[in-house]
């Protein structure tokens, strides 16, 4: 008579964030057993990160009492036992509030455990001829060894209760020499790379992340997005996110032959390079889009509206959005009428007001201003809260206004008269001028952005503060 048995796949949380213990799906009878050691679809559905393993390693241990660790490596691991039993010990060696947290468990072939990057891993064999196997999501290299973090197996702070005392166990000399907890340099979190970091948004992101050790900034001179070589200079497994703050924004110049080529190179080809890198290395890609992807025939644009760009600039931004949309982990932040550090509409109007010039300003294009400090804060919010991936409209809040309305506000706040601004139609303003077509209605629906718990500041309040800061800096 055969003896049949089975065990269902299940997960168990541990005290260490991200470390999850699994009961594996095992089926057996009098002949032996069969288990699904790694089953991506089922395990991801159960909450295992889709960590994309690339290498499978096996450690065979001849004698019980063989003890290895504690090693924190710069990649994720999925650990199980092929034969025998182990006592596993894991210590959080990542920078942060959970640093030093310990979890231990005995593992037999029916169990597995997921260990995130930076969590120290150690085991002691409890039976002879134990085979310990693990999947990792980066290829081992000699260079990567320099990024390991180690902890001594006998550390008094961790106070791991080894079943076989370390004095009787089999240890390597290297493992015996690892530092105590007080001397451990915690492994830093994966880094965020901001490209296009010298523009208006890039400068705002520099301010947003000022002092953050895990955020890097690269301007055009430091990272050429059009160069394949630039993408080979970084170990991308050490990054979690790329924020693309680079863009070609010369709307009218984009209609020329030279401008058209430049717009496509920066807004599409470079974005494709970023998207390819994000897909290959499982990174989050944050990309900033524009109201120009719409034709402006709707009063308010939501995220589900089909793309319908009018001019070359809008077409390149729409194409960039389509490219970014294929990245599994992406945020497209769609903005309008951006104001930051550098040349912009508000500064121009303030300068005209100061010189007593009475301008004619378009009054049939409507929307809201978006201040770069708020775009930077919203991007940080999306990443910190791990909001659902996808496209988010984002501008400052408050009433929808025309460019002429905003110009009048600037004049009034600058001590000039609102009546100094004359409203004209787009057709009148651009008569006999080479100009790109523009959407007449640029108001973006902000409900989805607000659903993440972020509530953008009122545009009028930001405008007042912006002009005050400009005056104070004169």
Q: How many whole angstroms from its chain centre is CA 317?
A: 20
Does residue 161 share a domain with residue 198? no
Count the Cβ atoms, other than its own, within 10 Å of residue 433. 7
Residues 6+ apart with CB under 8 A from 194: 202, 205, 206, 209, 215, 216, 217, 218, 242, 243, 245
Does residue 215 share a domain with residue 166? no
| CATH code, domain with 449 | 3.40.50.720
Does residue 459 share a domain with residue 310? yes
Instruction: Point out the domain boundary residue: 138, 167, 183.
Output: 183
Instruction: Point out the domain boundary residue: 127, 152, 183.
Output: 183
Give the separation between CA 453 and CA 148, rounded to whole angstroms. 37
The vertex-358 CA angle with 353 and 361, nearest 5°, equals 100
Nearest CA among 213, 207, 251 for reference residue 379: 207
Nearest CA among 132, 130, 115, 127 for reference residue 19: 115
Does residue 209 share a domain with residue 163? no
Residue ranges of the chain with pLDDT lower than 70?
1-5, 142-146, 473-474
Give the separation between CA 287 and CA 244, rounded to whole angstroms. 5
For 362-406, write each residue's pLDDT tens digit.
Answer: 999 999 999 999 999 999 999 999 999 999 999 999 999 999 999
DSSP 318: H
Does residue 206 share a domain with residue 147? no
Q: What are the DSSP E strand ranges found in 164-209?
A: 191-195
| CATH code, domain with 109 | 2.60.120.10
Does residue 305 share a domain with residue 166? no
Does residue 274 share a domain with residue 150? no
Sheet with 67-72: list strands edge to edge. Answer: 102-107, 86-92, 119-125, 67-72, 149-150
pLDDT at 106: 97
Residue at token pair 């597995």:
112
Give the separation between CA 370 and CA 443, rounded to whole angstroms. 11
Instruction: Point out the domain boundary residue: 183, 200, 220.
Output: 183
Does residue 219 share a domain with residue 155? no
Give the separation between CA 148 and CA 192, rounded to whole angstroms. 20
> CB–CB of 215/198 below 8 Å?
no
Identify the domain containing residue 140 by its residue range.
5-183
pTM, 2 dp: 0.88
Six-digit token string for 397: 């809040």
Does residue 371 share a domain with residue 346? yes
Does residue 386 share a domain with residue 314? yes
Does residue 112 share a domain with residue 34? yes
Catalytic (active-site) positions: 71, 134
Does residue 214 share a domain with residue 68? no
Q: Is the dihedral of CA 177, 179, 181, 184 positive or negative?
A: negative
Please count the structural domains in the chain. Answer: 2
Q: What H or E segment, with its residue span, contains residue 349?
A: helix 345-354
């Amino acid at each position: 008579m055969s003896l049949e048995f089975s065990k269902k796949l299940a997960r168990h949380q541990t005290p260490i964030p991200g470390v999850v213990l699994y009961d594996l799906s095992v089926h057996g009878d009098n002949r032996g057993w069969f288990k699904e050691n790694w089953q991506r679809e089922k395990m991801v559905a159960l909450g295992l990160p889709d960590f994309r393993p690339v290498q499978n390693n096996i450690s065979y241990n001849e004698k019980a009492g063989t003890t290895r660790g504690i090693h924190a490596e710069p990649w994720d691991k999925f650990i199980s036992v092929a034969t025998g039993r182990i006592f596993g010990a894991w210590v959080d060696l990542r920078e942060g509030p959970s640093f030093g947290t310990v979890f231990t468990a005995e593992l037999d072939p029916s169990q597995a455990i997921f260990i995130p990057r930076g969590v120290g891993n150690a085991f002691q064999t409890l039976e002879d001829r134990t085979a310990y196997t693990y999947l990792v999501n980066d290829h081992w290299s000699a260079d990567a060894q320099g990024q390991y973090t180690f902890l001594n197996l006998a550390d008094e702070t961790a106070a791991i209760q080894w079943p076989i005392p370390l004095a009787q166990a089999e240890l390597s000399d290297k493992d015996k020499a690892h530092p105590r907890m007080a001397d451990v340099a915690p492994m830093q979190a994966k880094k965020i790379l901001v490209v296009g970091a010298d523009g208006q948004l890039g400068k705002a992101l520099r301010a947003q992340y000022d002092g953050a050790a895990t955020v890097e900034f690269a301007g055009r001179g430091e990272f050429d997005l059009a160069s394949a070589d630039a993408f080979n200079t970084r170990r991308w497994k050490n990054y979690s996110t790329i924020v693309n703050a680079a863009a070609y924004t010369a709307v009218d110049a984009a209609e020329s032959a030279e401008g058209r080529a430049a717009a496509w190179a920066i807004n599409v080809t470079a974005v494709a390079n970023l998207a390819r890198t994000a897909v290959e290395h499982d990174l989050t890609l944050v990309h900033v889009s524009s109201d120009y992807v719409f034709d402006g025939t709707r009063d308010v644009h939501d995220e589900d509206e089909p793309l319908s760009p009018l001019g070359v600039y809008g077409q390149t931004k729409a194409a960039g959005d389509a490219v970014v949309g294929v990245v599994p982990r992406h945020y497209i932040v769609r903005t309008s009428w951006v104001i930051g550090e550098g040349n912009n509409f508000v500064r121009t109007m303030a300068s005209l007001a100061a010189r007593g010039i009475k301008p004619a300003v378009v009054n049939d294009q409507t929307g809201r201003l978006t201040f770069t400090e708020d775009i930077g804060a919203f991007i940080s919010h999306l990443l910190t809260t791990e909001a659902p991936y996808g496209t988010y409209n984002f501008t400052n809040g408050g009433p929808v206004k025309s460019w002429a309305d905003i110009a009048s506000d600037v004049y009034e706040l600058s001590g000039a008269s609102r009546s100094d601004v004359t409203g004209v139609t787009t057709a009148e303003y651009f008569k006999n001028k080479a100009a790109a077509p523009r959407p007449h209605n640029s108001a973006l629906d902000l409900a989805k952005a607000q659903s993440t718990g972020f509530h953008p500041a009122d545009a009028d309040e930001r405008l007042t503060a912006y002009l005050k800061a400009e005056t104070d800096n004169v």
